Structure 1
Amino acid sequence: MTAIRAEGLYAYYGTSPAVNGLNLEVPEGATFGFLGPNGAGKTTTISMLTTLLKPTAGRAEVAGLDVATRPAEVRRRIGIVFQESTLDMDLTAAENLRFQADLCGLGRREARTAIAAMLDMMELSERGDIPVQRFSTGLRRRLEIARGLLGSPRVLFLDEPTTGLDSQTRAAVWEHLDRLRREQGITVFFTTHQLEEAEHCDRIAIIDRGKVITEGTPAQLKSIIGADLVVLRTEDDPSAVEALSDRFGLAAEPGPDGLRLRVSNGATLVPRLCTELGLTVRSVTVTSPTLDDVFLHHTGSAIRENAPNARTLSNIGEGRR
């Protein structure tokens, strides 16, 4: 079954398309990441899928319902966590949820049960009577997720859900999201420009300039690159280019950070470089394929310059001619 489907979706601001003929299909029960830089069209797409913005052209379905012709029914089947906080800071956590329960049309008894369940799920039960203004950013984000889940949605939309959070809080939020997806079987659709967050996904679509440029599992997308990136600095880089070709059969390209080459297993190459290259090796960096590499491969630009899983060893060894 398909939770979300978009066909030829367009959204214009003036004469410029923010979303440009987008096609998308998200299976039920999946965690689906919409990955791209700021300004790529992520928020505009999620606005159309959640009925906040009417498509200029094309069509989209969420939970089997057309977002343009049946928006009220779509809204009853989705939950939304916005990029910017929309909590009432003067109300307590429970009061914020009670207000949302009224909007969802829940009866008093049903609302009381649902609010208690959401606070418990997000580990906020002991903070239910505390004003939200006293919450940390991470606790507020967890409360917003609880609010988005209050009406038992079939699809949960999250727009940049961990923006502004530190790495520890971000990991905690994702732990909660992963658990609720497993326990409740809902579809989670989120936008992000954080590459490490995309690793939580069953599938990823990379968007740039309003178009989906590639889609697949994280492993499938990284397999496009296929090899580790090795960045090497030596006492004599021009001579190292020749030595790499003659002794290892490897082609290296000079770059601002050193010699760059792609190899199938960079970790096993490092000891050989140190002992067999015939030059002093000043540093070696080995980086496994990343989603940033995938983005760079398809667009010619990187979402960010530094990948998170680079391993650098300085002055690790030397070899002499």
Structure 2
Amino acid sequence: METDPVIARRDLIKTTAAIAAAIPATLAATSALGADQGPQPQAAAEAAVPPTTLAEVPPGPDVKLTIERRDQVALFGLNRPDVQNRVDPETFQALARAFYDYDHDPSLRAAILFGHGDNFSRGIDVEGFRAAAKTGNPLSGLTRIVNPLSYGPAQRTKPLIVAVHGDTWNLGHELFLAADIRVAAAGTRFGQDENTHGRFPGGGSTVRFVREAGWGNAMRYMLTGDHWTAEDAYRIGTLQEIAATPEAALARAVEIAGRIAACGPLGVQTTLVSAHLAIDAGEAAAFSQLGAQYGALYRTRDFIEGVTAQAEGRPPVFHGD
């Protein structure tokens, strides 16, 4: 029996809306972790939490996050190239556990986040977050985790370098901004285009992008949804170095991580803690409001219009309600 195309399209729109509605409840839950407590000195953390050992995870068909150890450096690789490394709840949870183990492994002094395949990450895997809508928090109930977006009561106290290439969009760009040092391959395409779909950048860009690039530069891209290049990112200050190829970008990140690992680890951690003291107090309030802002925005008709337009493959028509 053939399906009425009108009914099929309506069902597709409803399904897409239900999937997209899971996003705010899921990502905004990172703000439920709290943002009123900055990173603590490693000595204090170790007094309360026993050290751990970060285990390697080689590439495999079901491995969404690879983990490699190179002496005192850990490499974390987003490994969903078939979906442009979009982050689903399992990948987000794996990152949270890996960051915790890295931070509490005394044999590791620096870490690198990169992406396998043609892109670093195009952001959230909307379909993958459907099931998480029931709990509203991909990290709910988990212990021994560090929020990959780097806010809340448990944060990294050790440095993270990110090496990006290809499409680095939305949540992918927010993971990029959450790192301490950033390297990109020439040809990297950055994006924070949620506003073109009736959403908003709620994983930290409204705080960090503004801080790193300045108000006008950040708003230029977030408010329009326009994408930008590695050269643009370097010009506005969110990117520290540009390498010729993705392989060269990762190699350069490894080199920088090695230089950090050769420094005194307590001095490196104290440098991070001291620097965070200068900025975290003012940012805590902004991070703590992300959940409420998500909830309000995603109940609007404009949000449904954005989702519907995506499902129908047409430009959205927003009305401001």
TM-score of the aligned structures, taking structure 2 as reference length: 0.24
Larger Rg: 1
TM-score of the aligned structures, taking structure 1 as reference length: 0.24
